[in-house]
């Protein structure tokens, strides 16, 4: 993954940071000329062996901020079988794989071996890689715990430990596995902890495991990123599916967040039937499927990625300029995490949250807590205002997965059961009568939409 060009900083560039010549050469070859602020701030402390507490949101260049010193300080040493020398912990498989992908050229320049240890992939291959010897292990906490349990990995020689996205690891329930790993690495080792937020669990980790850390808070939270626009679009319930479909059919890529795997699959099927190059990303997909889908989204073969929040944690896609919360997030941290998938590395981006009129107040309160000011607009499908904000347009209507288009797939105003219904009462008593009333409303809305469009 090529690293984006950096804006100039007054620190004199990477050359002034006493990095090994092989790393400087690789940085130059990859077009990485000047450090990002988080890199310029943390590299001197980390290279000097100090513990580091870095607060910066994803997309701020953190991987090289911890990766370069970790590789530089491990260079020249050789790992014995099953005994790595450096450990990077990340909350998700996708993030762990991205870290490996970013650091591999630099590791190869120093003849260091990286093993990626994540769930959903062959544990046998990972055991073999550790047995052959790997200086650096990039791991998710759950799979690392399994390998340590099987005595396939011993952490006693790890002298540098990185916790990347520490707050996300805690949010996902990995705190016990993280502390277990930190209790096993070399007690005199160096620890680098990076986190977008410093809440209670992260604060406990810092106090327990970091010794006199150099603290750098140089990157703003997603709510303070000036290149990011925030919009709340108030939609009429029956029109919600049509609005979502038209946004997904825009020119250019879009990442759409929903709450449940079922809703993600349902929307993806509908979008593909409407002619949108969409794919689903959630924890029910196998890791090879998830890796392939991400690669297709990054290349542009897939233009609409429909995802649950957990699946998209730590996701990095260059030049992604639109994120849509089809289901509004449930707390400020979720909002900032989702928003952080766009406007990365100085690029601009837009975050759009779809709400029904009854959700407006709760969403406004949530955004205020997140430090975000959003523009609120009432929209309907087919209207110019929706296109102006999101680039929405009518989908082609030609199904992508073969087979004849049914009346349901031709009409992008078709029922959208997956959205906004995860907590609906229609699943309880009286669901049938509500559903039939809903169906009548949807039929009326579709008829009205056709009349508006002259169809």
346 plus 325 within the same structural domain:
yes
Check residue 59 and give its pLDDT: 54
How many domains in the chain? 2
Do 285 and 385 fall within a single domain?
A: yes
In a domain, 439, yes or no: no
In a domain, 338, yes or no: yes
> Do 280 and 322 belong to one domain?
yes
Same-domain pairing of 347 and 301: yes
Residue 321 tokens read as: 């300029």
Q: 113: domain CATH number?
A: 3.40.50.300
Is 438 part of a structural domain of the chain? no
pLDDT of residue 218: 57
98 and 117 share a domain?
A: yes
Which of these, 109, 138, 144, lies nearest to 22 by C-alpha position? Answer: 109
Contact 138, 114 (CB under 8 A): yes
What is the reported pLDDT for 99?
A: 92
| In-domain check, residue 156 | yes
* 254-258 β-sheet, strand order: 278-281, 304-308, 254-258, 322-325, 349-355, 228-234, 375-378
Q: How many CA atoms does the CB half-sphere of 424 hold within 13 Å?
A: 16
Let me know whether 152 and 246 are in one domain. Answer: no
Buried b (16+ CB within 10 A) or exposed e, 369-407: ebebebeeeebbbbeeebbebbbbebbeeebeeeeeeee
- Whether the CB-CB separation of 51 and 191 falls below 8 Å is answered with yes
Within a domain: 231: yes
The values of phi and psi at residue 94, to 5°, are -60, -45
Over its C-alpha atoms, the chain yields an Rg (Å, rounded) of 24
Q: What's the domain range around 129?
A: 14-216
Give the whole-angstrom CA distance, residue 292 versus residue 270. 21
Query: What's the pLDDT at 422?
Result: 37
Final residue belonging to a domain, choices 197, 216, 235: 216
Q: Are 103 and 200 contained in the same domain?
A: yes
Verify that 54 and 183 share a domain, yes or no: yes
Instruction: Examine residue 437 and state whether it is found in any structural domain, yes or no.
Output: no
d(CA 104, CA 23): 11
| Cβ pair 351, 323 in contact under 8 A | yes
Grouped pLDDT means (10 residues each) for the chain, 455 residues? 36 77 92 83 92 74 91 96 97 89 95 94 94 97 95 97 91 90 95 84 91 77 59 90 94 92 94 94 86 89 90 70 90 80 66 91 84 87 92 90 44 46 35 45 53 49
Report if residue 429 sits inside a domain. Answer: no
Pair 252, 398 in one domain: yes
CA distance 56 to 323: 20
Which of the listed residues 167, 186, 216 is the one where a domain comes to its end? 216
Task: Return d(Cα 26, Cα 37) in angstroms, integer.
Answer: 20
In a shared domain, residues 148 and 31? yes
Q: 216, 241, 269 — which closes off a domain?
A: 216
| Judgement on whether residues 52 and 83 belong to the same structural domain of the protein | yes
Residues 193 and 226 in one domain: no
- Asked whether residue 452 is assigned to any structural domain, the reply reads no
């Amino acid at each position: 993954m090529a690293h984006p060009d950096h804006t100039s900083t007054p620190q004199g560039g990477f050359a002034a940071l006493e990095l090994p010549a092989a790393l400087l050469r690789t940085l130059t070859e990859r077009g990485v000329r000047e450090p990002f602020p988080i890199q310029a701030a943390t590299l001197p402390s980390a290279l000097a062996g100090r513990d580091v507490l870095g607060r910066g949101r994803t997309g701020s260049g953190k991987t090289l901020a911890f990766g370069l010193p970790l590789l530089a300080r491990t260079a020249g040493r050789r790992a014995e079988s099953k005994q790595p020398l450096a450990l990077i912990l990340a909350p998700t498989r996708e993030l762990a794989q991205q870290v490996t992908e970013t650091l591999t050229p630099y590791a190869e320049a120093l003849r260091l071996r990286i093993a990626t240890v994540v769930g959903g992939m062959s544990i046998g291959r990972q055991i073999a890689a550790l047995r052959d010897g790997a200086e650096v292990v990039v791991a998710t906490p759950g799979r690392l715990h399994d390998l340590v349990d099987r005595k396939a990995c011993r952490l006693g020689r790890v002298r540098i430990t990185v916790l990347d996205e520490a707050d996300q690891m805690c949010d996902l329930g990995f705190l016990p596995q993280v502390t277990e790993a930190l209790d096993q690495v070399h007690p005199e080792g160096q620890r680098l902890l990076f986190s977008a937020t410093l809440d209670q669990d992260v604060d406990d980790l810092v106090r327990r495991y970091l010794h006199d850390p150099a603290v750098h808070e140089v990157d703003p939270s997603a709510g303070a990123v000036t290149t990011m626009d925030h919009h709340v679009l108030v939609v009429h319930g029956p029109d919600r599916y049509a609005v979502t479909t038209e946004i997904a059919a825009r020119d250019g890529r879009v990442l759409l967040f929903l709450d449940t795997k079922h809703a993600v699959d349902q929307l993806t099927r509908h979008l593909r039937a409407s002619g949108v190059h969409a794919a689903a990303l959630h924890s029910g997909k196998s890791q090879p499927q998830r890796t392939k889908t991400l690669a297709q989204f990054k290349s542009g073969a897939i233009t609409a990625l429909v995802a649950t929040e957990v699946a998209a944690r730590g996701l990095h896609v260059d030049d992604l300029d639109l994120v849509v919360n089809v289901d509004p997030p449930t707390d400020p941290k979720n909002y900032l995490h989702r928003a952080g998938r766009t406007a990365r590395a100085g690029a601009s981006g837009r975050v759009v949250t779809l709400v029904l009129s009854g959700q407006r107040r709760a969403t406004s309160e949530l955004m205020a807590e997140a430090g975000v000011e959003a523009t609120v607009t009432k929209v309907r499908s087919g209207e110019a205002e929706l296109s102006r904000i999101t680039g929405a347009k009518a989908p082609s209507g030609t199904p992508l997965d073969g087979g004849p288009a049914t009346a349901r797939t031709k009409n992008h105003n078709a029922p959208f059961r997956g959205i906004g219904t995860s907590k609906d009462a229609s699943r309880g008593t009286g669901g049938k009568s509500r559903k039939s009333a809903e169906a009548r409303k949807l039929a009326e809305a579709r008829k009205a939409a056709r009349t508006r469009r002259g169809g």
